[in-house]
Amino acid sequence: MSFWRICFTATCLVLIGLVTRLEAGVLSLNGTSHVELANPSGVFPIGNDSFTIEAWINPTSIPAGGGSGGQITFWGNQSGNQSNGFRMAGNAGVVHYFWGNDHAVSGLGDMLDDSTGPNGDGWHHVAISYDGDSSQSTWYKDGEVIGAANQTRNPGVNVADANYRIGSRLNGEFFHGYIDELRVWSSARSDSELLSNFDSQINPSSSDLVAYYQFEGADDFSDSTENANDGTPRGVGATVDTGIDSPAQPQLDADEDGIPDFWEDENNVDDPDGDPDNDGLSNAAEYAAKTNPNAEDSDEDGLGDAAEINDHNTDPTSADTDGDGLEDGEEVNGTNGFTSDPNLIDTDNDFVNDFAEAEGGSDPNDPSDPVKKGGVLELDGQVANFVTFNNDSGLIPIGASSFTIEAWINPTSIPDGGGSGGQITFWGNQSGQKANGFRMAGNQGLRHYFWGNDHDANTSEDMLSDTTGLNGDGWHHLALSYDGDTNSSTWFHNGIPVGTKVRSTDPNVDDANYLIGKRTTGEPFHGFIDELRIWNVSRTDEEIVENFELELSGEENLVSYWNFNTGLTDITGNGHDGIAVGSASINSMLNAPVSSSGSLEITEVAYDLSGDEVTIAWTSRSGRTYALDYSEDLMDWIEIDDGIAADGDSTEFTDVLPPGTMMRFWRVREMDP
């Protein structure tokens, strides 16, 4: 049950959009690393949307496995007409693809030669424009249309909203060299629009510009637009080189004060030494930091911009610099009596992030003071130590039945005899099409097999590192959904699809040898496993995302479920209880980063002054029904509605207040199914 109190006052804050600085820098990629991109605003073009992608590139080589061309950008799935791929094609060509349905141009001269390009310095500008209405695309290089203009693409384009990255696709084609002034537009730019500013920096607030990467400064992988599609480097070879710049010319600066005219106009400032918000930072400093010169605390996290930059080394444009769930001001000023480091997800390095410790009442600075965690299965990587279970219920999928397997894992190493990847679950026999194997494939890879007939995928993250994963704590969620009707499967990593494949042969999995942590003769797992689930259906993308971060309780089609909080018990009640063999054990001091599905919290109360209406929002679960009550004194409660259907993971209800109401409390209850 969750409560919220509101007293009726109102304030208004207008935050002017932030803009980028103007310094030297380019993205440097070594041919084995890339940059992952966020899409929090959902503005990247998907489906059959029109788009334009452009960038300055200075390639060094075509790396091994580069598919004859370094990848500049990619998003979508590696399946027919579901991806948006923008890359080189050898040293003298370019290709855009939707995974098939290509538009390629060759014979462009050696772009690896540092004496080529419009300035003879190895830099080349490349761009592709696509009109979804006409299905036509046009390639550009160094300010000119190349190849056949307005090539008509085949129908059926449906780019997926997934896997956004710079410098590679999911499984390879890495870029080796430099990239700068990378822009993604949500429209098909005309010849005149594209050629008018390809050789100059532009206003990040330009119409239809949904992402803009300028790489202006060390470790700056940020999106210069307001859409916050910021990048995260993956691999040691993805860096920003501030000693290099592309030929793109700077923005106009009529008064030559170091601040471009567009930024001064947008923020109504003209003196680089001025400080209109009195936060101790000059306008020039705010421009360099991407902060708002008219707001003392640009990200409204409780720390002023100057304090973030000068005292705490935090990001003044991000309320939660380290992404641990606590805002920077909460970490510095204290939460539930505890302070923590706003630059560290887990200040005391006890494998519990600061938010969980603060909410649980433990000290995030003391590794000996953990919150109550629950339990995980701990395996030491020796083939003699594993868990068995039975299928006396007959509910675990065999033959060619549909299924989904999912688990949170925190692997420690790939042990000798691990077959390049620790086994998470296995059942069946080690014979062609007779097994169901779910495992890692090296420190970054995934493999599901029927003993042959494999489906491999790549997470592009070192899962052995305790700084990777969804929360930067070494925990990764893996899932494999298999549809027996179509004989196709999809791999998921941390809720994101990372590859779909139609299997070559129908399986016929045997009802035998049910194991966790190894197959019958090897490939032991070393590390921790939690929230292990087996379903007798092929779960959809939406279903995986809906609850992979939640504990479950009796969901339909869930046939086996081990959360290891109560030992090796299958908490579905179907009797698939585990039996520990050797030193396989439960570590009750650890838990995967999942929340209780029973957690119910009012997250927002919004008061509309014009209509005496209050909108209450709370956490919810799809398919559930909720009741909302109110009280004037926290003693007597009156029901408002007991039939509010959940709207995904957040639900809201608007309560109309009677005239003269000065104070009101609300509570939310989840009704029995």
Nearest to residue 424, comparing CAs of 435, 409, 442?
409
196 Cβ contact partners less than 8 Å away, ≥ 6 residues apart: none
Q: What is the pLDDT of residue 216?
A: 87
**What is the reported pTM?**
0.50
Vertex 399: Cα angle to 394 and 405 (nearest 5)? 75
Vertex 230: Cα angle to 34 and 143 (nearest 5)? 75
Distances from the Cα of 595 to the Cαs of 260, 263, 331, 551, 599, in angstroms? 46, 43, 21, 6, 7
Q: How far is the C-alpha of 117 from the C-alpha of 53, rounded, in Å?
A: 19
Q: How far is the C-alpha of 246 from the C-alpha of 58, rounded, in Å?
A: 8
Q: What is the pLDDT of residue 568?
A: 93
* Spatial contact of 615 and 654, defined as CB atoms under 8 Å apart: yes
Q: What are the tokens at 563? A: 């959360």
Is the pLDDT at 569 greater than 60? The verdict is yes
Domains of the chain, start order: 26-241 (2.60.120.200), 261-360 (no CATH), 376-587 (2.60.120.200), 602-670 (2.60.40)
Q: What is the pLDDT of residue 10?
A: 27
Mean pLDDT of 581-591: 85
Mean pLDDT of 442-465: 94
C-alpha dihedral, 44 to 48 to 51 to 56, nearest 10°: 80
Is the pLDDT at 371 greater than 70? The verdict is no
Mean pLDDT of 650-664: 85
Q: Coil, strand, or helix at residue 406?
A: strand
Which amino acid, 533? R
Per residue in 600-609, pLDDT (tens digit) is: 778 888 887 6
Please give the residue that has the higher pLDDT: either 610 or 386: 386
Mean pLDDT of 425-438: 95
Please give the residue that has the higher pLDDT: either 6 or 129: 129
Which amino acid, 340? S
DSSP characters for 222-248? --SSTT---EEEESTTEEEETT---SP
* Spatial contact of 305 and 314, defined as CB atoms under 8 Å apart: no
Confidence of residue 22 (pLDDT cuts 50, 70, 90): very low
Per residue in 128-180, pLDDT (tens digit) is: 999 999 999 999 999 899 987 789 999 999 999 989 999 999 878 999 999 99
Per residue in 459-488, pLDDT (tens digit) is: 999 999 988 988 888 999 999 999 999 999
Q: What is the mean pLDDT of the chain?
A: 87
When mean pLDDT is compared across 19-23, 54-58, 181-185, the lowest value belongs to 19-23
